[in-house]
Amino acid sequence: MSNSTTDRKQNYRDRKTAIILIGLGICLVILAIFSFLVGRFPISPDKVVGILASGIVPVDQFWTDQEAIIFFNVRLPRVLLAMLVGCSLSAAGAAYQGTFQNPLVSPDILGASQGAAFGAAVAILLGFASFGISVMAFSFAIVTVLLVIAVAQAARGNQVLTVVLAGVMISSLFSAGVSFTKLIADPSDQLPAITYWLMGSLTGAKPSDVTMVLPFMVVGLVTLFVLKWRINILTMGDEEAATMGVNTKALRLIIIIAATIVTAASVSVTGMIGWVGLVIPHLSRMLIGSDYRKLMPASMLMGACFLLLVDDVSRLATTAEIPIGILTAFIGAPFFLYLITREGKKR
């Protein structure tokens, strides 16, 4: 094949990637605007623009104080969190799938979600406020993954396999801990609070939640984005990566820590939202290919779009909001079955 033909094909793939990423970016903007407008108390488009503009330049107020309060204290933090959490979980899922060379790995593979659930359940038992619950959930998620890494370092054998096995075992321990907290919780108020947290929701999103998790998400997401091309090397296997002069052990540890930070930050403020980190990287891979230089930004954008859309459905489908974790499971479980049957047909 001539160089000119190869260059034309590469240019075509690059243009296609650019179009897809721009399209996802436009879709995200449209969904964000739509999310600002809809809800139990709809706000008209002109008022949304006016309220947003008022924070930058002086604007004569033609909206009510109640609409401004709803926008800044309810709608804005909820939309921002939906985008941040969707982006974070999708990026973490894509990173884990490449790092562990397993397409069915999700962000909770190392037990971060179950550790966060246990921390939140303990905080609820102790009567902590929402901020304390988030801090406990985040702390226990980090501690869980550090414990997994410590166990894997102490074990012998294949490092990737031992990390995954340690994650499964420790996750099951914290899952048992969550069950125990539910057993001893007061059934009148503590048990419903724990159960609702485990379902995952953006209902109680507050500006303080965004402020708390934003620094952790930015650090983790920037790290994953910068290292996206190195994840391609990890997918080749440790031996191949070693011949290229890459310290796979150190690289894998950095990626795991970055993915854990964004996962812990996400779960700490929303509760357990499953399947996003499994489904979205696969959809992105089908759309744009397996090159992580393209896959990572596509997963981030698509994850933000997906969670915004699902959150809008949870707000609008019924008079009472449906926990977002339920909706993502309704979508994720059938897709997981599709992946299994697809792999089976390939064999």
Residue 262: pLDDT band by 50, 70, 90 thresholds? Answer: very high
Q: Which one-letter amino acid corresponds to residue 312?
A: D
State what percent of residues in the chain have pLDDT above 90: 52
Three-state secondary structure string covering the chain: CCHHHHHHHHHHHHHHHHHHHHHHHHHHHHHHHHHHHCCCCCCCHHHHHHHHHHCCCCCCCCCCHHHHHHHHHHHHHHHHHHHHHHHHHHHHHHHHHHHCCCCCCCCCCCCHHHHHHHHHHHHHHCCCCHHHHHHHHHHHHHHHHHHHHHHHHHCCCCHHHHHHHHHHHHHHHHHHHHHHHHHHCCCCCHHHHHHHHHHCCCCCCCHHHHHHHHHHHHHHHHHHHHCHHHHHHHCCCHHHHHHCCCCHHHHHHHHHHHHHHHHHHHHHHHCCCCCHHHHHHHHHHHHHCCCHHHHHHHHHHHHHHHHHHHHHHHHHCCCCCCCHHHHHHHHHHHHHHHHHHHHHHHC
Asked if residues 256 and 312 have their Cβ atoms less than 8 Å apart, the reply is no
Tell me what the mean pLDDT of segment 261-265 comes to.
Answer: 95
Q: Where in the sequence is the domain holding 81, given as residue range(s)?
A: 3-346
CATH of the domain at 115: 1.10.3470.10
pLDDT of 166 above 80: yes
Asked if residues 17 and 285 have their Cβ atoms less than 8 Å apart, the reply is no
Gap between the Cα atoms of 335 and 343, Å rounded:
12
Q: What phi, psi does 57 have (nearest 5°)? A: -130, 155
- Per-residue pLDDT of 55-67, as tens digits, reads 788 888 888 889 8
Asked if residues 174 and 115 have their Cβ atoms less than 8 Å apart, the reply is yes
- Per-residue pLDDT of 88-101, as tens digits, reads 999 999 999 998 88
What is the pLDDT at residue 221?
Answer: 96
* HSE toward the beta carbon, residue 104, CA cutoff 13 A: 10
What is the pLDDT at residue 3?
Answer: 65
- Per-residue pLDDT of 31-53, as tens digits, reads 999 999 988 888 888 998 898 88
Residues composing the chain:
347
Gap between the Cα atoms of 159 and 165, Å rounded:
10
| Better pLDDT: 133 or 341 | 133
What six digits make up the tokens of 48?
């949304």
Asked if residues 259 and 231 have their Cβ atoms less than 8 Å apart, the reply is no
Structural domain total, the chain? 1
Chain centre distance of CA 122 = 23
- Per-residue pLDDT of 108-125, as tens digits, reads 888 899 999 999 999 999
What is the pLDDT at residue 182?
Answer: 95
What is the pLDDT at residue 30?
Answer: 95
Please name which of 260, 233, 231, 211 lies closest in space to residue 88, comparing C-alpha atoms. 260
Question: Is 58 buried (19+), middle (13-18) or exposed (0-12) by CB count in 10 A?
Answer: exposed
In the block, tokens 């992946």 appear at: 339
pTM of the model: 0.92
